[in-house]
Amino acid sequence: MDAFVELSAELTGFSAEELRSTGLVEPYRALAEGASEAEIIQLWYTGVWRGTVPSARAYAEGLAWKAAGVAAPGTRGPGFGSWERRPRGSSR
Amino acid sequence: MVGAGFAGSLIAKVLGDNGFRVLVLEAGAGHDPGEAVERYRTAPARTPLVPFRRTAAAPSSDYVVDTGPHSVASQYLRMNGGTGTAWAGLTPRMLPDDFRTADFGHGRSWPLSYDDLEPHYRAAEWEIGVAADADEQRQHLPVADGYRYPMHALPRTFLDEAIASAVDGQRVDGRELLVVGTPQARNGVPVDGYRPDGRLCAGFASCVPVCPEGAKYTPHRTQKRWPATVELRTRCVVNRLHADESGRVTKVGYQRYEDDTTGAHTRHEVEADVVVLAAHAVENAKLLLLSGLANSSDQVGRNLMGHPVLLTWALMPHPVGPFRGPGSTTGIEAFRTGPERAARAPFRVEIGNWGWGWSAGSPESDTAELVAAGLRGTALRRAVAERVSRQFTLQIEVEHEADPANRVTLAAERDALGNPRPSVHYELSEYAKDGMLAAKRVSDRIFELLGAEDHTAYKPDDERYFEHDGEPLRYWGAGHSGGTHVMGTSPRDSVVDQWQRCWDHPNLYAVGCGSMPSLGTSNPSLTMAALALRTAGHLVTRWR
């Protein structure tokens, strides 16, 4: 079992699989050594690490956007008129 | 041509197409769209100017010295393409009443009427590519019979429909509410006879500041259509115009730099038959003041206006899917004019599609708040979803009338090239504050009609906080600066005539929002473009 992934899943409410699919486990593991819970959550949710964004992917994969069911602005074009659609009713 | 932004790029194209040789001197560096998108994605705060190339020699609005009492809070970008690179792409026209604001007892009127400008509005809408429905716009604006916008109106967002279904037909403050599509310079479905430049809007939801799809108009599109007779030189900061005894401008002095990180430069001069300043309202005024030109009226730099924006934010009763599509696709036009205008500033209510991104820094701020409240794991995930998915903001642009005391002057401080930095004195008027208060009350009523949970909060330690009639308020900047080389009917009290030609100099033009005697309540770029095309036609006829 991977302790960092396990801790991240517990803190963020996203499964180990969901976290791994971001491709960010390894860079975040390196960054988050000795970090507080709040810092680890902020990193996963917003892609911000101590005032900077380590990579474009960190921003694009921010879990706050995923929780809300939308793409991080400027990362994906869901298509012309996609904004008309009824959003999903709840998070889970 | 001094400046390769909105107005300069349009005018240079018309001149080039008509056989003129045009040299365009742009103070900033070139634009790299790919680099801008990358910078946007890695910026901790996604503010409007953050993705763009900046240089030490030609700083953007952050080098303006604010002397208060209020901040005009209006950003601008010195880079090829100018602020029109970062703009929202919203292109409402001004209303006929907006051209005669002095009749309401506030500010200044234009030497032009809406009818005078209307054909140029149409030309501008086709030149930059505007998506809108003429019949829908006719509900609040005179649009010529038989006219078609080049592209059909963009689809509304789910949020727009949710708001329209609750407020259309309701009365607030004596007005009937109607949610109306906002014209936009963003690619939609073309009408017969129009070929859009670039791809369809794909909903990246980052139009301010960058559209990764290239679906939003920027001046670079016009530049691509420049004929070979138009030459662009970037990193050339014009710092002096020279005139002869008759007032004719003879030479333009500029400083050219290579290194974006220092003020190292070489000095140059160029001669021209006609000089057009298109460098932004603040920069045009700075350049005229530096050169000691065009100021027999003592109005250069004065009448500086912006749009104070009141943001109000709330949660809808159900998820609306924020952060999708363009920043705003509809608005409420009912408060843009009327007899109340004699007593308080009018306003335009823009429905904001991007949650509380602008107003409260969502979703980062929500996450921080919920984490600080002790939420973890599934509870946190659910709370973020619950909070973010119902967000919306009303973005209310309030008119600020022209006041000669609000002005740009030259600061004692110098920039890296050794030129004086612009200094701005700006004070929010009672008229604008009264308009903001009325806007807040309208917003309160709209939230009630929607059954929305109001989260708007203005706190004394917030930037641009103030109290008016005992009520806390706050304003934001819109990036809409104007008035600094105001247009009028007489050289005694205005800087340029109706053709944007300086009264004092037969071959010197100052173009852009700086010429506008009032901004009304509309985003000004389309009006700037219409004026630019009108001036371009005049230049071709007069100087051929």
Distance, in angstroms, between A25 CA and closest chain B CA?
A: 17
Question: Are A60 and B42 a contacting pair, CB within 8 Å?
Answer: no
What percent of chain B has pLDDT above 70? 100
Look at residue B102 in the predicted model and tell me its pLDDT.
Answer: 97
Query: Cα(B62)–Cα(B355) distance, rounded to whole angstroms?
Result: 27
Phi and psi, residue B362, nearest 5°: -75, 155
B37 lies within 8 A of chain A by CB: yes
Interface test with B, best of A84, A85, A88, A92 (most B CBs within 10 A): A84
Mean pLDDT of B458-484: 97
Mutation site, B316, B367, B391, interface A, largest A CB count within 10 A: B367
| Interchain contact B213–A (C-beta under 8 A) | yes
Q: Do A59 and B366 touch (CB under 8 A)?
A: no
Contact B518, B400 (CB under 8 A): no
Note whether B214 and B224 are within 8 A (CB). Answer: no
Predicted pLDDT at A88: 78
Residue B423 pLDDT > 70: yes
Q: Is the CB of B212 inside 8 Å of chain A's CB atoms? A: yes
Chain B residue numbers with beta carbons less than 8 Å from the beta carbon of A83 are 155, 157-158, 203, 205, 321, 324-326, 329, 353
Q: Which residues of B touch A52 (CB under 8 A)?
A: 42, 44
Instruction: Identify whether the C-beta of residue B349 lies closer than 8 Å to the C-beta of residue B450.
Output: no
Which pLDDT band holds residue A91 (cuts at 50, 70, 90)? Answer: very low
The H or E element containing residue A5 is helix A3-12
Measured between CB atoms, which of B42, B204, B371 is closest to A73?
Answer: B204
| Chain B: closest CA distance from residue A59 (Å) | 6
Distance in angstroms (rounded) separating the CA atoms of residues A90 and B321: 10
Cβ contact, residue pair A92, B382, below 8 Å: yes
- pLDDT of res. A44: 98
CATH number at B1-87+223-305+403-426+480-544: 3.50.50.60
Phi-psi bin for B208: left (phi > 0), alpha (psi -120 to 50), beta? beta
CA distance A32 to chain B (A): 17
- How many Cα neighbours within 13 Å face the side chain of B426? 31
Average pLDDT, chain B: 97
pLDDT tens digit sequence for B158-212: 999 999 999 999 999 999 999 999 999 999 999 999 999 999 999 999 999 999 9
Q: What share of chain B is helix, strand, coil (3-state, %, to 5)?
A: 30, 20, 50
Do the Cβ atoms of B131 and B184 come closer than 8 Å?
A: yes
CA nearest to B475, candidates B283, B279, B311: B311
Of B73, B88, B90, which is closest to residue B331 (Cα–Cα)?
B90
Question: What six digits make up the tokens of A18?
Answer: 């969901």
Interchain CB contact of B372 with A (< 8 Å) = yes
The verdict on a CB contact (< 8 Å) between A70 and B324 is yes
Task: State the best of A80, A85, A86, A92 to mutate against chain B, taking most chain B CBs within 10 Å.
Answer: A80
Q: Which residue of A has its CA nearest to B188?
A: A80
Given a cut of 80, whether residue A92 has pLDDT beyond it is: no
Domain boundaries, chain B: 1-87+223-305+403-426+480-544, 130-216+309-399+429-474
- Does the distance separating the beta carbons of A77 and B202 come in below 8 Å? yes
Q: Tell me whether residues A84 and B38 touch, CB distance under 8 A.
A: no
Q: Chain B contacts of A38, Cβ < 8 Å?
A: 371-372
Query: Which residue in B379, B15, B41, B26 sits closest to B206, CA to CA?
Result: B41
**ipTM tops the 0.90 cut:** yes
Q: Where along chain A do its domains lie?
A: 3-72
Contact A8, A44 (CB under 8 A): yes
B477-502 per-residue burial string, b: 16 or more CB within 10 A, e: under 16: bbbbbbbbbbbbeebeebbbbbbbbb
Above 50 in pLDDT, residue A16? yes
Nearest CA in chain B to A46: B364
Residue B341's contacts (CB-CB under 8 Å, 6 or more residues apart) are B97, B101, B104, B106
Please indicate whether, in this complex, the C-beta atoms of A91 and B381 are within 8 angstroms of each other: yes
B156 to chain A: which residues are within 8 Å by CB?
A: 84
Contact between residue B50 and residue B260 where contact means Cβ atoms under 8 Å apart: no
- Contact call for residues B210 and B77 (beta carbons, < 8 A): no
Q: How far apart are the CA of B42 and the nearest CA of chain A, in angstroms? A: 5
Residue B521: pLDDT band with limits 50, 70, 90: very high
* A36 Cβ contact list (under 8 Å, min separation 6): none
Helix (H) or strand (E) holding B398: strand B391-398
**B147 Cβ neighbours under 8 A, 6+ residues apart:** B122, B134
DSSP-H helix ranges across B33-169: 33-41, 114-128, 134-138, 158-167
SS3 B446: helix
- Which residue from B46, B321, B378 is facing A87, i.e. has the nearest CB? B321
Tokens found for residue B306: 């912006």
What is the percent of chain B where pLDDT is above 90? 99
CA distances, B33 to each of B14, B52, B80, B255 (Å): 25, 9, 11, 26
Residue B496 has pLDDT above 90, yes or no: yes
Whole-angstrom Cα distance, residue B298 to residue B285? 12
- Note the pLDDT tens digit of each residue in A36-89: 999 999 999 999 999 999 999 999 999 999 999 999 999 999 999 999 999 976
Contact (Cβ atoms closer than 8 angstroms) between residue B91 and residue B185 = yes
Type of residue at B392: F
The mean pLDDT value for B244-254 works out to 97
Looking at residue B278, its amino acid is A
Contact between chains at B319 and A87 (C-beta distance less than 8 A): yes
Q: How far apart are CA B125 and CA B150, in angstroms?
A: 7
Using the Cβ of B378 and the Cβ atoms of chain A, whether some distance falls under 8 Å is answered with yes
- What pLDDT is recorded for position B60? 97
Contact B204 A76 (CB under 8 A): yes
Residue-level pLDDT at B544: 85
Give the rounded distance of the alpha carbon of B155 from its chain centre: 23
State the SS3 of B227-296.
CCCEEEECCEEEEEEEECCCCCEEEEEEEECCCCCCCCCEEEEEECCCEEECCCHHHHHHHHHHHCCCCC
Question: Which of A24, A83, A85 should be substituted to probe chain B, the one whose Cβ sees the most B Cβ atoms within 10 Å?
Answer: A83
CA distance B112 to B119: 12
pLDDT digits (tens, 9 = 90+) for B321-366: 999 999 999 999 999 999 999 999 999 999 999 999 999 999 999 9
Structure tokens that stand for B208 in this block = 């301010």
Would the pLDDT of B135 be above 70? yes
Helix (H, G, I), strand (E, B) or coil at B393: strand
From chain B, the residues in CB contact with A92 under 8 A are 381-382, 385
Query: B363, A64: Cβ pair inside 8 Å?
Result: yes
Lookup result for tokens 């960190």: A58
- Residues in A closer than 8 angstroms to B319, CB to CB, are 69, 87-90
User: In the prediction, which pLDDT does A1 show?
Assistant: 66
pLDDT digits (tens, 9 = 90+) for B69-113: 999 889 999 999 999 999 999 999 999 999 999 999 999 999 999
Q: B394 in the Ramachandran plot: left (φ > 0), alpha (ψ -120 to 50) or beta?
A: beta
Q: Running DSSP on this structure, what letter comes out for residue A77?
A: -
Interface touch A41/B367, C-beta < 8 Å: yes
Which candidate in B39, B159, B389, B391 is best for mutational testing of the A interface (most A CBs within 10 A)? B389
